[in-house]
């Protein structure tokens, strides 16, 4: 029974491991327990084969993630390994321990039942985690653009602001799509949605080309905010200029219509006089509306 328990624990544990160190520690512990439970050196050969297959199982789980997409794949390796280990145990040491084929079969059957129960539980947990992950993402991200939403912005910007005051700089840009209401009125709200999606995709693609790390948020209907952690405002301005140029060159195709857009931007950075995150956000917002008052399609820094 100790061998069955050992097999069950090692198989199920590999399913939930998330680090190489944990896998190595568990594999070594498995070898020690196997030797103690059998009291023979032949178990080393069984353990080596078992560890090799478990390593493949672990890589599949942690790196390829196919098992997370198809959780019933969890049952493949465990159900193969159990009979292999017990067959090897029977052939190598069954005579010493006086095990009959019936006893060995009983052990294999009990292991298989226990492993199936464990896998079914894993599938259930996997399903629950998927649901929780879906709800968590919906609570944090805007479903239309894929940007994070206002709730996420409030929490994360406060964190970035505290870090900026203590260690690094911080810049923030507020962006508004010019005359977005006119797009909705002239072409319809579905066209407006298409424009929002195209805007978001254009910004993300341009950011990838620039090779920068920043956080994008949809903070209103057609209003967006971008956080530049640890970045000075002059460098952030160059990136924002590129975004404006990319949006100018972009065409939104909606049916037979071709829609052109521009954006206005307000940009600022954290200052020693900023006591709260709200102060820097309000200043960026004021700069944004200064850009709109000056004729739109502009960038104001202050």
- Cα 45 to chain center, whole Å? 39
- 8 A C-beta contact, residue 265 and residue 240: yes
Q: Which of 138, 215, 222, 257 is catalytic?
A: 222
User: Would you state the structure tokens that stand for residue 202, as one six-digit string?
Assistant: 């254009």
DSSP string, 96-155: HHT--HHHHHHHHHHHHHHHHHHHHHHHHHHHHHHHHHHHHHHHHB-TTT-SB-HHHHHH
Is there a catalytic annotation at residue 222? yes
For the chain, where are the alpha helices, taking DSSP H only? 2-16, 20-38, 42-59, 66-69, 76-97, 101-140, 150-166, 180-187, 189-210, 233-249, 277-293
At residue 231, what are phi and psi to the nearest 5 degrees?
Answer: -120, 135
Q: Supply the residues annotated as catalytic.
A: 222
């Amino acid at each position: 029974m100790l061998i069955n328990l050992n097999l069950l624990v090692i198989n199920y544990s590999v399913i939930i491991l998330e680090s190489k160190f944990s896998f190595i520690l568990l594999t070594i512990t498995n070898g020690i327990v196997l030797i103690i439970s059998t009291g023979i050196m032949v178990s080393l050969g069984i353990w080596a084969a078992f560890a090799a297959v478990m390593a493949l199982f672990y890589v599949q789980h942690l790196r390829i993630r196919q098992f997370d997409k198809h959780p019933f794949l969890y049952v493949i390796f465990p159900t193969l390994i159990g009979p292999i280990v017990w067959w090897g145990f029977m052939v190598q040491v069954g005579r010493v321990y006086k095990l009959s084929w019936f006893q060995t079969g009983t052990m294999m059957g009990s292991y298989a039942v226990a492993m199936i129960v464990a896998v079914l539980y894993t599938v259930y947990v996997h399903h629950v985690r998927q649901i929780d992950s879906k709800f968590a993402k919906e609570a944090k991200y805007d479903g239309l653009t894929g940007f994070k939403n206002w709730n996420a912005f409030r929490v994360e910007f406060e964190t970035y602001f505290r870090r900026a005051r203590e260690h690094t700089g911080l810049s923030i840009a507020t962006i508004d799509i010019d005359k977005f209401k006119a797009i909705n009125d002239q072409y319809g709200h579905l066209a407006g949605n298409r424009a929002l999606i195209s805007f978001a995709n254009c910004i993300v693609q341009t950011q990838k080309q620039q090779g920068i790390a920043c956080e994008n948020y949809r903070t209103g209907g057609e209003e967006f905010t971008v956080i530049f952690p640890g970045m000075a405002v002059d460098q952030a301005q160059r990136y924002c200029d590129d975004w404006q140029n990319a949006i100018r060159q972009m065409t939104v195709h909606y049916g037979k219509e071709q829609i052109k857009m521009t954006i206005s931007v307000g940009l600022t950075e954290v200052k020693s006089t900023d006591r709260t995150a709200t102060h820097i956000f309000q200043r960026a917002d004021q700069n944004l509306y200064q850009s709109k008052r000056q004729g739109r399609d502009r960038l104001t820094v202050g």
